[in-house]
Amino acid sequence: MMAGDVDKLNQIYADDWATVDSSGKIFTKESLLSNFKSGKHKLLSFEIGPMNVQMFGDVAVVQASVTEKRLHDGKDISGQFVFMDLLKKRGDKWVIVRTLGSKVM
């Protein structure tokens, strides 16, 4: 994300990836990639906190915290967040299929 490598993000996120923002709007892989491709969304830096990973066969759940410096439409949306990613092994690759996160106030 920091490098803005849309091709790599395309490999990491499943085609059916989705998340919901704090307003309840659903974001898809298409919108994620579009925002990074256009420069509308930029990750400037991040530091991941402790991470917990649980494996269930070909499904994994990752829970962690992250402190980020981010811009969206030029607006600073930096902060500390907690998130959970749901990953699925598809073929020989693990991909993120769902993300849920929240800003820590």
pLDDT, tens digit, 9 for 90 and up, residues 31-78: 999 999 998 999 999 999 999 999 999 999 999 999 999 999 999 999
What's the CATH fold of domain 6-103? Nuclear Transport Factor 2; Chain: A, (3.10.450)
Residue 105's pLDDT is what? Answer: 87
Average pLDDT of the chain is 95
Percent of the chain with pLDDT over 70: 100
Give the pair of three-digit tokens for residue 75: 């607006």
Among residues 79, 80, 78, 85, the alpha carbon closest in space to that of 52 is found at 85
* CA nearest to 69, candidates 89, 37, 41: 41
Q: Which of 77, 81, 84 is nearest to 98 (CA)?
A: 84
- The answer to whether the beta carbons of residues 64 and 83 sit under 8 Å apart is yes
